[in-house]
Structure 1
Amino acid sequence: MTRTLLSLGHGYTARALARRLLPQGWTVLGTTRSPDKAEALRAEGVMPLVWPGSDLAPAVAQATHVLASAAPGAEGDPFLPHIAEALRDARPDWVGYLSTTGVYGDHQGGWVDETTALTPATRRGQMRVEAEAAWQALAAEAGLPLHIFRIAGIYGPGRGPFAKVRAGTARRIIKEGQVFSRIHVEDIAQVLAASIARPNPGAIYNLCDDDPAPPQDVLAHAAELLGLPLPPAVAFDEAELTPMARSFYAESKRVRNDRIKNELGVDLLFPDYRTGLAALLREAFDG
């Protein structure tokens, strides 16, 4: 049976999933806004769709699986209004929506799981709640097998603390009690692949590792791995941060990941930032 993934907003995470699926004989269609990026996707074995600018209905009709990765804007999910009718007709075997643990808001370092009320502390988090609800409404109306994945802070190749530490620009921002959950991109890819193999329509999963930690601890460990001095500490109130970066510090929580283990049988490749950073460093030297 031919299996085809339509990846709406084919970015960093979706590319990691594609690297797992393509060797298994999957066809992967991925949208991108840039003709230049389209050529890069083609080189990776992905059939690119430049959007806006192309009709997605034929791709939706072809897809057995659909993954939506694009962040919502003020008008909501960028794809949903354009593909809702096609999705009703196509009835794919699996639909995944990538959301964020930001939907839970601030819990002052306390634990959250998939049953925790959605109380986002930022406008960005509120837009994610609204986008989740829009996808859920369509799924309920059309009988779509929707799965929602609430993802913690993503790191991986090309996305880690090493470059800033090496450049001497890293700063350990200190905010009392602040803690974040995070996850390696390859663990996101394996969770998505596990869900595709074991669909559970309506399911919601938190994607994070086992070790929520203060961000300054991660930077300190990266410096230690590199054999470089500890980045200087800066109090949060005195730090020069972009509005986006500052907004992340509006929320502090620890995210539980029991469901991906118990329901999907996932054994994390990188259960904490120490194993993840060590692997990134090995890959950099091996490369």
Structure 2
Amino acid sequence: MQISNSKSISILSCGWLGESLAIDLLDKGFIVKGATTSPDKKERLSEQGIDAYQLRFENLNDAMKSFLNSEILVLNLTIKDLDLYKQFLPVLEQSPVKKLILISSTGVYRNSEKPVDENSELSESVWVSIEEIMKDNLNYQTAILRFSGLFGGNRKPGRFLSGRMVKGGDAPVNLIHRDDCIKIINEIIQQDVWEECFNCTADTHPSKREFYTKAAELIGVPLPIFDEEEGRSSSFKLITNEKLKRRLNYEFIHPDLMKALSLF
């Protein structure tokens, strides 16, 4: 017999972001199902009170069907194999899932000298195709969250470019802290906002030179080396978050990237 799925959320998968999200939702009273490919991670999730599954995205078996016995699915994968999503879709359609949060990326946009919003020109990224086949499905409602680069916890920006030769030192940085990722997902659920797409990025956009030099200094690692001839470079984009803040009345926990570096 299936359990009630009225307050059940499945998270595929529980990596760096997904595990922290699972713990947060569990604390808020949800029944949380978390999927991982690691037996050690499965044990750790179980110890924290999460209904843990050891699953691979491509294994569409009874365990996957049990995992999908929830009202909400957070699809939080780095897998870029479009065929796997096409194979997964019929299984999802036959599940009790009624609401899907698809974690995507601001990498879907082309580089632009103008600020990039949700209506800006898209690239040929596979994430564009993944978004297309997962949204507008009559079996469930979808919210697409396009996250910029992620940091927080043990993911320290100072290590991202440490000691590397970097082009485009004057180009703007687009990042978002994990705390805000989790809060935004919570707001989507609590406010019941679906059939929308949001850019999720911090308010400020310091230059690569300013941000990553300071980030490296703060944790005592080799500084990045910037190609002075590149300057701003034509390969950049500045992601705007105005729709997110307006539609969800959202206030960032970490709106200022330079100030956020003090956390490390």
Compute the TM-score of the two structures, normalised by the length of structure 1: 0.78
1:58 pairs with 2:66: yes
What is the identity, as a one-letter code, of the residue corresponding to 2:9?
L
1:104 pairs with 2:109: yes
For residues 271 and 150 of structure 1, the distance between their equivalents in structure 2, rounded to whole angstroms, comes to: 17
Q: SS in structure 2 opposite 1:12?
A: coil
What is the identity, as a one-letter code, of the residue corresponding to 2:192?
P
Q: SS in structure 1 opposite 2:33?
A: strand
Superposed counterparts of 1:117-196, under 5 Å: 117-120=121-124, 126-137=125-136, 139=137, 142-162=138-158, 169-171=162-164, 173-175=166-168, 177-196=170-189
Q: Deviations over 1:58-77 (max 9, x none)?
A: 222x201100011233444x
- 1:185 CA displacement: 0.6
Q: RMSD of aligned C-alpha atoms?
A: 2.7
For residues 91 and 19 of structure 1, the distance between their equivalents in structure 2, rounded to whole angstroms, comes to: 20
Q: Deviations over 1:132-167 (max 9, x none)?
A: 011025x2xx241100000100000111134579xx
- 1:277 CA displacement: 1.5
For residues 40 and 237 of structure 1, the distance between their equivalents in structure 2, rounded to whole angstroms, comes to: 49
Compute the TM-score of the two structures, normalised by the length of structure 2: 0.85
- 1:32 CA displacement: 1.1
What is the identity, as a one-letter code, of the residue corresponding to 2:171?
Q
Runs of at least 4 residues off by over 6 Å: none
1:233 pairs with 2:225: yes
Partner of 2:244: 260
For residues 228 and 90 of structure 2, the distance between their equivalents in structure 1, rounded to whole angstroms, comes to: 43
For residues 164 and 85 of structure 1, the distance between their equivalents in structure 2, rounded to whole angstroms, comes to: 37
2:202 to 198, 209, 212: 209
1:29–1:47 Cα contact (<8 Å) kept: yes
Q: In the superposition, relative to structure 1, how do residues 105 and 236 fare at CA in structure 2: closer, same or farther (>3 Å)?
A: farther
Partner of 2:87: 81
Q: SS in structure 1 opposite 2:17?
A: helix
- 1:237 CA displacement: 8.9
- 1:106 CA displacement: 1.1
2:46–2:52 Cα contact (<8 Å) kept: yes
For residues 36 and 213 of structure 1, the distance between their equivalents in structure 2, rounded to whole angstroms, comes to: 39
For residues 188 and 221 of structure 2, the distance between their equivalents in structure 1, rounded to whole angstroms, comes to: 42
**Which protein is richer in helix relative to its size?**
1
Q: Deviations over 1:93-121 (max 9, x none)?
A: x210000001012114x31111112124x
Q: In the superposition, relative to structure 1, how do residues 34 and 250 fare at CA in structure 2: closer, same or farther (>3 Å)?
A: farther
Q: SS in structure 2 opposite 1:204?
A: strand
- 1:89 CA displacement: 4.5
Partner of 2:254: 270
Q: In the superposition, relative to structure 1, how do residues 63 and 174 fare at CA in structure 2: closer, same or farther (>3 Å)?
A: same
Partner of 2:14: 10
Q: Deviations over 1:217-253 (max 9, x none)?
A: 2222224545x59825242899xxxxxxxxxx98411
Structure 1 gap segments, 5+ residues each: 121-125, 239-248, 282-287
Q: Deviations over 1:152-206 (max 9, x none)?
A: 00000111134579xxx53462425422310001101100100001123210010
For residues 93 and 228 of structure 2, the distance between their equivalents in structure 1, rounded to whole angstroms, comes to: 45
What is the identity, as a one-letter code, of the residue corresponding to 2:17?
T
Structure 2 gap segments, 5+ residues each: none
- 1:7 CA displacement: 0.7
Q: SS in structure 1 opposite 2:172?
A: coil
